[in-house]
Structure 1
Amino acid sequence: MDIHCPDCQTILEQDGLQGHCPACGHHFTLAPHCPECHQSLEVLKACGAVDYFCQHGHGMISRKRVEFVPQPGT
């Protein structure tokens, strides 16, 4: 799924949970959100695996379904 720059709508280049806009040069942190309620997800890391959990009643969320929302970064 492509993530667009909130400033100029260009598709972001992704590196893990970081995003960079090649057009305007802005950097973003990509925050995981639930596809059902659009609230922030808890990130669970264990044994090299990363899982996502919705604390608002939707349980475990597959990485394929997670919505990554650009947040201002460094």
Structure 2
Amino acid sequence: MDAFCPVCSQPMNWVSGHFHCEPCQTSYTQTALCPDCHQPLQELKACGAVDYFCQNGHGMISKKRVQFTYSPYSQE
């Protein structure tokens, strides 16, 4: 999956638990949202696969339908 910077739209790199945009010199965390209710999804990882589950009644969500948002990364 490609992640694009929300500011300059350039591809970002995965670096030590977060995404980093080289042109902007900014780091971001990624949040997966349900396309129906726009609430954060639970990420289920098993055997190298990642699936997404909506706890608000929408059940399993296809990876193709997941909406990703990016927030500035803070190391606090």
TM-score range (shorter-chain normalised) is: 0.7 to 0.9
Q: What is the TM-score when the length of structure 1 is the normalising length?
A: 0.75
Distance 2:14 2:62 in 1: 19
Q: Which residue of 1 aligns with 2:8?
A: 10
- Does the 8 Å CA contact 1:35/1:67 hold for their aligned counterparts? yes
CA apart distance, 1:72: 2.0
Structure 1 alignment gaps of length 5 or more:
none
Identity percentage of aligned residues: 46
Distance 2:4 2:60 in 1: 22
Distance 2:39 2:13 in 1: 21
CA apart distance, 1:68: 0.9
Change (3 A) 1:51 1:31: same
Question: In the comparison of the two structures, how many residue pairs are matched?
Answer: 71
Distance 2:5 2:35 in 1: 17
Distance 2:14 2:70 in 1: 13
For the aligned residue pairs, the C-alpha RMSD in angstroms reads 2.3
Structure 2 alignment gaps of length 5 or more:
none
Q: Which residue of 2 aligns with 1:26?
A: 26
Per-residue CA deviations over 1:4-38 (Å, capped at 9, x if unaligned) read 42xxx211415397332333211001111111111
Q: What is the TM-score when the length of structure 2 is the normalising length?
A: 0.74
